[in-house]
Structure formats: structure tokens, C-alpha cells
């Protein structure tokens, strides 16, 4: 009988944990509902099988890629799921969670995340948390118990608030970069941290397993990028048969002006810079990939509506 009681206790515990996870999980993807990292998580509000391009990375990504411009120019459906200080293992779990819902044709990885790491102990703690939160949201949102309302006990969790900017952060002000040339050619190569290299490989493998093409990019950032990092990513791309766009090289070819195109002295693009980066990216995608143009297709009406709202946001 002891084994029966143990099994019964385990089943009851699992049921209680599932119920608790249901209650504490945010009931929508609005920030006031307590969801974490709303702009990136808004991707879950996109209708099933409507995203062909899924981009991950840190704040460099959401400052420089404007998906609605890709939609307007090419009919590509994309989302810039960038987050401030996003770590590459978070990029991996985001991609992994979206594959079944959208089956993207292309993943874009903004490679500054490859060189972003904390202490090994902090990274390992965060990785364990990501693995647990993937299946047990109770552990991610347990602190919400103080803010629970009647709705938390009666409403099914749903990501129902679309983001018309598709993850992009619209900023118009400028703060020039006045330093010198930061991309000084060298044969030196930046080293990969073991954990970051492990998850870079995991992303590459995940894309191959699911027939998703992987494009590596690095957007203009005079503060966080270097030729040593360029060499490391270029070598990795060559070894794995991947395409790599380094927007920090030959910036004049697409008109980046550090006097007008950065919001914070060279760290991130502003809207002027993002338009230039996205225009170049769109041409590259058009010339190198076979991505569908969904403009005018049934099931993509919301994208046309979102474009109208986007244009209002940017004043066009």
C-alpha cells in the first residue's frame, strides 16, 4: 500500500502545481497583467502560422529592425523578438517555443548576444530557470500571488494583445557618436565563452532540424562591436555554411551617419538608422531567400491593419 500512497501523493501534488501555475500565469500579454518582457512576448499574440521570419537578439535588434517596413516593401511577415540584455540561451528558448506555432522559414540571430555573458554561476542559474519555466510557469510567475484577482481564477491565459511594431522600438531623437573608426581590421579573433558557444550551436542545430534557414547579422553599434568579434562570427558562419551580414563593415554602402542615426552615442540605432538597416536587410532577403509575399492574401488582413497603425505611430 505504501507505493500506492506515494503515487497518489505525487499525482495530487502534480495536479496542485498545475492548478497553481494556471492561477498565477498572466491572463493576457499586457504589461499590467504582470507578464515579463512584453514586447518580445507579444509575439505569442500573432496568429498561428503567420510568421515567416523570427529575429532574436538584445536591444541592438529591436532598435535597428522594423518588421512593418519589411511587410510594406516585400510582404514579409517578421518579428523582432529582442530584449534588453537578452542572453543567447533566452534566444534559444524563444525560438524553440515558437517553432511549433509558426514554423518560420528564416531565423535571424543578432550576434551581439553571443558575446554577452555574466558570471558562469549567474548564467547557469538563468539557464536552469529557463528550462523549468518552459514547462512550469509557476516558477516564473510565483511572485504574482500578491496581485491575484478574481479574474486569475476564472480566465484562461491568452496572448491577445498584438504589437503593431512587431517588437521594434520606435525612437526618433539622436545623440551622435563622435568617436573614431572602431572597425579596425585585424586578424585577432574574439573568444567564445563556453556557455554562449554551446547555445549558439544549439540554435544552429535547432534550425537545421526544423528546416529553418539561419541568418547571422550584427547591426551597427560602435560601442559593443569590434573587428575581433566580426572575425569570430565570420569564422563560425563559414564553418557552418551560414550567411552573415555585418552592418558595421562598409557602413557607407547603406548610408549610416553616426551624426543622425544613433539615439545614444553609438550604442543603438534610432528610427533613421533603423530604416536604413531594414532597407538593406530587405534587399538582402529578397536576393538570397525564397520568402513569400503575403500582401493581399487571405488570413493576413491584420498585417494591413497593423501597417496603417504603424504609419500613424511614425507620423506618415
Tens digits of residue pLDDT in 156-190: 444 455 789 999 999 999 999 999 999 999 999 99
pLDDT digits (tens, 9 = 90+) for 287-302: 999 999 999 999 999 9
Model-level pTM? 0.82
The pLDDT score that the predictor gives to residue 6 is 66
Topology annotation, domain 1-315: Rossmann fold (3.40.50)
**Residue for grid cell 512584453:** 38
Q: What ranges do the domains of the chain cover? A: 1-315
CB 91 within 8 A of CB 55: no
Average pLDDT taken over every residue of the chain: 84
Which segments of the chain have a pLDDT < 50? 22-24, 27-37, 131-132, 136, 138-142, 144-146, 150, 153-154, 156-159
Amino acid at each position: 500500500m505504501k507505493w500506492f500512497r506515494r503515487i497518489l501523493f505525487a499525482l495530487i501534488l502534480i495536479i496542485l502545481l498545475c492548478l497553481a501555475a494556471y492561477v498565477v500565469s498572466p491572463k493576457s500579454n499586457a504589461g499590467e497583467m504582470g507578464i515579463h518582457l512584453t514586447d518580445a512576448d507579444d509575439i505569442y499574440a500573432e496568429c498561428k502560422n503567420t510568421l515567416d521570419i523570427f529575429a532574436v537578439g538584445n536591444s541592438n535588434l529591436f532598435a535597428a529592425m522594423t518588421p512593418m517596413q519589411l511587410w510594406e516593401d516585400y510582404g514579409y511577415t517578421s518579428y523582432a523578438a529582442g530584449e534588453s540584455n537578452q542572453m543567447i540561451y533566452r534566444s534559444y528558448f524563444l525560438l524553440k517555443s515558437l517553432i511549433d506555432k509558426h514554423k518560420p522559414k528564416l531565423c535571424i540571430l543578432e550576434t551581439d548576444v553571443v558575446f554577452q555573458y555574466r558570471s558562469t554561476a549567474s548564467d547557469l542559474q538563468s539557464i536552469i530557470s529557463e528550462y523549468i519555466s518552459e514547462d512550469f510557469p509557476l516558477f516564473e510567475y510565483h511572485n504574482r500571488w500578491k496581485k491575484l484577482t478574481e479574474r486569475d481564477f476564472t480566465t484562461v491565459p491568452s496572448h491577445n494583445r498584438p504589437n503593431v511594431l512587431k517588437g521594434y522600438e520606435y525612437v526618433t531623437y539622436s545623440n551622435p557618436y563622435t568617436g573614431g573608426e572602431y572597425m579596425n581590421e585585424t586578424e585577432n579573433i574574439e573568444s567564445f565563452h563556453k556557455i554562449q558557444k554551446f547555445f549558439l550551436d544549439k540554435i544552429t542545430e535547432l534550425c537545421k532540424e526544423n528546416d529553418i534557414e539561419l541568418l547571422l547579422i550584427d547591426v551597427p553599434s560602435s560601442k559593443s562591436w569590434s573587428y575581433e568579434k566580426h572575425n569570430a562570427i565570420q569564422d563560425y558562419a563559414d564553418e557552418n555554411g551560414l550567411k552573415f551580414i555585418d552592418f558595421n563593415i562598409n557602413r557607407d554602402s547603406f548610408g549610416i551617419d553616426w551624426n543622425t542615426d544613433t539615439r545614444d552615442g553609438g550604442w543603438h540605432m534610432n528610427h533613421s538608422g533603423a530604416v536604413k538597416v531594414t532597407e538593406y536587410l530587405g534587399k538582402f532577403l529578397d536576393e538570397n531567400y525564397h520568402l513569400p509575399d503575403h500582401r493581399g492574401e487571405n488570413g493576413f488582413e491584420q498585417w494591413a491593419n497593423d501597417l496603417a497603425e504603424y504609419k500613424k505611430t511614425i507620423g506618415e
